[in-house]
Amino acid sequence: MNTKTKSVLHAMASRHSSMEWDASELPEAPGAPENLKESGLSLSFLNDMILRAILVRGTMLGLDLARLLCLPFKVIEEPLQFLKDEKCIEVTGGDLIGKVAYRFALTDLGRARARDAQRMCSYVGPAPVPLEDYVEQAYRQAVTGIHCTPENLRGSFAHLVLPEDLFNALGPAIVSGKSMFVYGPPGNGKTSIARAIGDFMNQAGGEIYVPYAILADNSIITIYDPTLHQLAQEGYNERVDDNEATIRRLLNTHTVDARWVRIRRPVVVTGGELTLDMLDLRYNADANFYQAPLHVKANGGVFLIDDFGRQLVSPKELLNR
């Protein structure tokens, strides 16, 4: 992972931007790609993902491959045909409804290539979205686009007793999209204020979309974390088990890109355990892909550093980071 990619991720996470985006004029959710080019992924990259998936899962229906990769079948149809022409996969069965119901299996040549691809990266799951698409979507749902008035702000802070001057300062600070420093003696409600800010963002700003993973410099970085990200609606992102319904969804156009998960704006809390290493990309040496750091996973929401000054790292080093 080169320095440029890291700097882009950290710049987004800090949410300092001179760009102004009118959220009302931008689409609410990323649309599903209509073809391979719109997916932002190369043919060779998807070839490797398909080979790894079949190697790990065994013989798979075209439907199941599309569902696993979170891509419309028409997007993976070209890679499947290419791999078939290259004698890497073969069709071992099918149904009358078309290629989406074909059963694909690896040939001996395909198994050898799949193992080579797995040694390079063993990630198997939803296809990543390009870094550029992630940056664009992050700006679309930035907190600077939230409509904030004293009336709708009071609802999230109704359980707290705040001085009027502090309350009046909160709104502009929240929608500035910049870092905020809340200080005071122990027990005066600093953490409660920060959590209330997260509640207000969800009430006024609505849900956001995060990708399962992104692709940067040909490296996969996982973003969605079920331990930190709360699904917007129960069952909203669950994959449909009924084959007929799933086929209709995978073949539809103008739908939401399934590589993105709809979640509530995250409130990620860290305290004295925070170290500088936790703000870097975490590399899985066994699987050869990365996991995004905490502050990137908090994009679009709140990243709360509680008990600032009690970390193992000095406050100066942390602020400079």
Q: Which of 121, 82, 124, 122 is nearest to 104 (CA)?
A: 82
Q: Can you tell me which residue has the tokens 């078939």?
A: 84
Six token digits for residue 259: 């590589």
More confident: 253 or 240: 253
Give the model's pLDDT for residue 221: 97
> Quick one: pLDDT at residue 312?
84
pLDDT, position 298:
93
Coil, helix or strand for 214? strand
Min mean pLDDT across 176-180, 224-228, 293-297, 300-304 is at 176-180
The string of pLDDT tens digits covering residues 52-65 is 999 999 999 999 99
Cα 259 to Cα 208: distance, rounded to the nearest angstrom? 13
Identity of the residue numbered 122: S
Residue 216 has pLDDT above 70, yes or no: yes
Orientation of helix 62-69 relative to helix 73-85, angle to 10°: 120
Average pLDDT over residues 288-313: 91
What are the angstrom distances between the C-alpha of 282 and each of 143, 207, 220, 296? 26, 27, 11, 12
In this predicted structure, the answer to whether residue 177 has a pLDDT above a threshold of 50 is yes
Please check the confidence at residue 39 and state whether its pLDDT lies above 60: yes
Bridge partner list, 105? 90
pLDDT of residue 181: 86
> In this predicted structure, what is the pLDDT of residue 248?
54
Query: What local confidence, expressed as pLDDT, does residue 239 receive?
Result: 45
For residue 308, pLDDT beyond 50: yes
Q: Which two tokens stand for residue 162?
A: 């705040």
Provide the pLDDT confidence category of residue 95 given band limits of 50, 70 and 90. Answer: low
Q: What is the full DSSP assignment across 79-97?
A: HHHHHHHTTSEEEEEEETT
Q: Helix, strand or coil for residue 163?
A: coil
Stretch 239-264: mean pLDDT: 67
Contact between 114 and 51 under an 8 Å Cβ cutoff? The reply is yes
233-250 confidence digits (pLDDT tens)? 754 444 444 555 455 555
Q: What is the pLDDT of residues 118-158, one digit of tens each?
A: 999 999 999 999 999 999 999 888 888 788 888 888 888 98
Tokens of 200: 């207000």
Average pLDDT, the chain: 84
Quick check: helix, strand or coil at residue 146?
Answer: coil
Q: What is the SS3 assignment for 35?
A: coil
CA distance 70 to 191: 38
User: Do 306 and 268 meet the contact criterion of CB atoms below 8 Å apart?
Assistant: no
Of 54, 104, 61, 65, residue with least CA distance to 84: 104
205 contacts 146 by C-beta, under 8 angstroms = yes
Structural domains in the chain, CATH included, are 1-33+128-321 (no CATH), 42-127 (1.10.10.10)
Enter the tokens of residue 193. 């204020």
Q: Are 278 and 293 in contact (CB under 8 A)?
A: yes
Please report, to the nearest 10 degrees, the dihedral formed by the alpha carbons of residues 285, 115, 129, 270 taken in order.
Answer: -20
Burial of 59 (0-12, 13-18, 19+ CB in 10 A): middle
Average pLDDT over residues 282-290: 93
Whether residue 222 has pLDDT greater than 70: yes
* pLDDT of 99 higher than 60: yes
- Which is more confident, 52 or 181? 52
pLDDT at 204: 85
Burial of 261 (0-12, 13-18, 19+ CB in 10 A): buried
Instruction: Select from 320, 319, 299 the least CA-distant residue to 309.
Output: 319
State the pLDDT at residue 202.
Answer: 86
Q: Greater confidence, 244 or 109? A: 109
| pLDDT over 70 (residue 166) | yes
pLDDT of residue 136: 92
- Residue 2 confidence (pLDDT): 57
What is the model's pLDDT at position 55? Answer: 97
Give the whole-angstrom CA distance, residue 302 versus residue 195: 8
The more confidently predicted of residues 22 and 31 is 31
Query: What number of helices (H) and strands (E) belong to the chain?
Result: 13, 12
